Structure 1
Amino acid sequence: MSVTIEELSKHLGISVSTVSKALNDRADVSLATKERVLAAAREFDYQPSSAARNLRRGRTDKIGFVFNNAFTFISDYFAEVIVGATAAAENHGNNIVLYTNDGNSPESLLNLFRTREVDGFIIVWNHVPVAIIDMLLQANVPFVILGRRVGHKQASYIAPDNYNGATALMEHLLELGHRRIGFTTRPSMGRTNEDRFNAYKDSLQKAGIAYDPDLVVSTKLEWYSGYHAMNKLLDLPEPPTAVFAFHDFVAIDAQQAILDRGLRIPEDIALAGFDGLRTSLVTSPPITTVRQPLVQIGQESIKALLQLIENKNQPPIQKTLPVDLIIRQSTRHQ
């Protein structure tokens, strides 16, 4: 059975502070005392208290991952992000703790930090309001927003290149000859929605195609949202010949709506998504998508947060990572 430092001190007949200094290889302790303390520590299987050590260091070595979505809707996304995040955290001797927060009680984040439960936060929210960013900055809470670009100059984030990814997807559809291209938006996604929507509109303009608001349908993070949005597009007097779904889950919903109408993909209507989730590969046909480097996003977010924790004067870290267009049978015969 492991002993405490007090018991080790009593057994050796020296003070607790001397035992502590010996264990930490302090210069003001003789070599003979160090060897004696280390030998006793091995004999009695002494394990230093991480809580006490962290208290002295002013660190917990714990990182809070904060979500405001039900895991049901982000399971594929999270599965890849967490692989990179946990690997990066463990490489630096840190652990990850998961929290849920819907954004309606942001003060609870401050309480977690002030009570020293965590050293900082990775925030995985659809949209992070400026007021919450300001609150965290004013309280000197280290945080990084994962997967979302934000307009705040002082906020750190690691995000995919949504604009260029969406542009590449639109260019692909336009090169196939499509001129009526539908788009499903996701207003709750804030800057991510803006980047993809702007790329959609800019690509049409560059191709000399007038923007048609009837071809744009809003979706929500709920079951069958993509299915209903696709039906609205199919009910138009002149339906689109291709649809750019905001993300892969919306595309999967949309695919079912298309098939339920007895239409063929891509012969009657082409379909594409965004994110590169594994579920988009196992559909029939597999869905064209823009793949985010989710593992890398997880890794880079942890690395950025640790920099902010270590250096209180660290400037905000804002990094946009490249994405890849993955062309599959839902837009073009292979």
Structure 2
Amino acid sequence: MAFTQTLFQIMPVTIEDISKQLGVSISTVSRALNGKVDVSEATKERVQQVAQEMGYQPSAAARNLRRQRTEKIGFVFNTAISGISDYFAEIIAGATTAAEENGHNIVLYTNAGHSPDELLKLCKAREVDGLVLVWDHVPATVIDPLLEEALPFVILGRRVNHHQASYVSPDNYNGALALMRHLLDLGHMRIGFIDRPAMKLTHVDRFAAYRDALEGASIPFDPSLVIATDGEQSNNQSATYQLLDLPSPPTAVIAFHDLIAIDALEAILERGLHVPRDIALAGFDGLSASLLTKPSITTVKQPLRKIGEQSVQALLCFLANNKQQPIQITLPVQLEIRESTIG
């Protein structure tokens, strides 16, 4: 018996092992463990007791195969996680909580998002029950094939113009509008904007708020105050220098997101300027890194943890109901005023 117990500790216990131990058929053990009505209560109790004593654990793979489920949710990135680590840390905290509370695990895919073909291969493989797409921009050329594959998916952190696509997004327009009104209330008339057009609809919403706030304050739009960047550190700083070198430079600058604002701050300080006395600066996203700079950077805080949580919850709605209509959620954001605008 000692040898048998040691063997059970080394090898996973199967229903065949329980069958041999009890001297009953494998099918009887299986039906007893699954609570079937054609097995007596006495047999069920005996089987379950011996299964517990032997350390039996049901096979998740076998159970999921019967249910045609993996209990896994795929998070698919089309950008390096290292570049959005601060952003992702908050999102994944909310996402994993929502997933685990509902019996699911999260699997990260950092290569499948590099091309539509790779993404479709992932869908066809059915390695996961559904996908959460963490992309800068998800075009219709990606959305339509995904819909045809009938694998549920939700786009995280981005609004899309597709009536059949589901997403959970922050309120980019009203967040940028709040930033602009804050700077206008401080008396700034020339406000620069370091933009990222590659972010598509996020860019559209934030830039629209910039233009609308100027119009609301009866300030003419000056295209020289808007400089595009691709998000690389050197280019973010170059965009800042272009604004500083204007014949009439801005008295305040809004960066498209906090990481750009951090690079802009470094460029401004290198010129020997004081923030905010010489020039005010603001970002967007509410990353913890923007709180650690000197001065700390005024920003719009996204509810990142809630975005992750609600993206998973939305996906679970589709898994529970294959007739679920598209879910499109826009979450409120919060202006956080810090030293870079009022210090």
TM-score (norm 1): 0.97
Aligned partner of 1:42: which letter?
Answer: Q
- 3-state SS of 1:69 partner: coil
Residues 263-317 of structure 1: CA distance to partner in whole angstroms, max 9, x if unpaired? 1111110000000000101111100000000011111011001111121100011
Query: Is 1:83 aligned with 2:68?
Result: no
Query: Is 1:215 aligned with 2:221?
Result: no
CA-atom RMSD in angstroms:
1.3
Aligned to 1:249: 259
Query: Is 1:56 aligned with 2:66?
Result: yes
Q: Within 5 A, what are the aligned runs for 1:166-205?
A: 166-205=176-215
The answer to whether the 8 Å contact 1:182/1:215 transfers is yes
Deviation at 1:15, TM superposition (A): 3.1
The answer to whether the 8 Å contact 1:246/1:273 transfers is yes
Aligned to 2:248: 238
Distance 2:15 2:170 in 1: 48
Query: Is 1:43 aligned with 2:53?
Result: yes
Sequence identity (%): 63
Query: Is 1:126 aligned with 2:154?
Result: no
- 3-state SS of 2:324 partner: coil
Aligned to 2:149: 139
Deviation at 1:23, TM superposition (A): 1.1
Aligned to 1:16: 26
The answer to whether the 8 Å contact 2:167/2:328 transfers is yes
* Larger deviation, residues 98-107 vs 56-65: 98-107
The answer to whether the 8 Å contact 2:99/2:106 transfers is yes
Aligned to 1:153: 163
The answer to whether the 8 Å contact 2:76/2:112 transfers is no
Deviation at 1:102, TM superposition (A): 6.5
- 3-state SS of 1:38 partner: helix
The answer to whether the 8 Å contact 2:233/2:260 transfers is no
The answer to whether the 8 Å contact 1:225/1:250 transfers is no
- 3-state SS of 1:178 partner: coil
Aligned to 1:306: 316
Deviation at 1:103, TM superposition (A): 4.2
The answer to whether the 8 Å contact 1:182/1:233 transfers is yes
Aligned to 2:4: none
Aligned to 1:318: 328
Residues 122-171 of structure 1: CA distance to partner in whole angstroms, max 9, x if unpaired? 10000011111001111101011000011111101001000000000000
Aligned partner of 1:254: which letter?
Answer: A
Aligned to 1:3: 13
Aligned length: 333
Distance 1:186 1:256 in 2: 19
Distance 1:128 1:110 in 2: 14
Distance 1:114 1:285 in 2: 49
Distance 1:205 1:82 in 2: 38
- 3-state SS of 1:66 partner: strand
TM-score (norm 2): 0.94
Deviation at 1:323, TM superposition (A): 0.3
Distance 1:141 1:271 in 2: 43
Deviation at 1:113, TM superposition (A): 3.3
Residues 149-207 of structure 1: CA distance to partner in whole angstroms, max 9, x if unpaired? 11111101001000000000000000011111000111111111110010000111111
Structure 2: gaps spanning 5 or more residues: 1-8
Q: Which contiguous aligned blocks of 4+ residues in structure 1 show a shift greater than 4 angstroms?
A: none
Aligned partner of 2:210: which letter?
Answer: Y
User: For 1:105, which of 108, 112, 115 is the aligned residue?
Assistant: 115
The answer to whether the 8 Å contact 2:70/2:128 transfers is yes
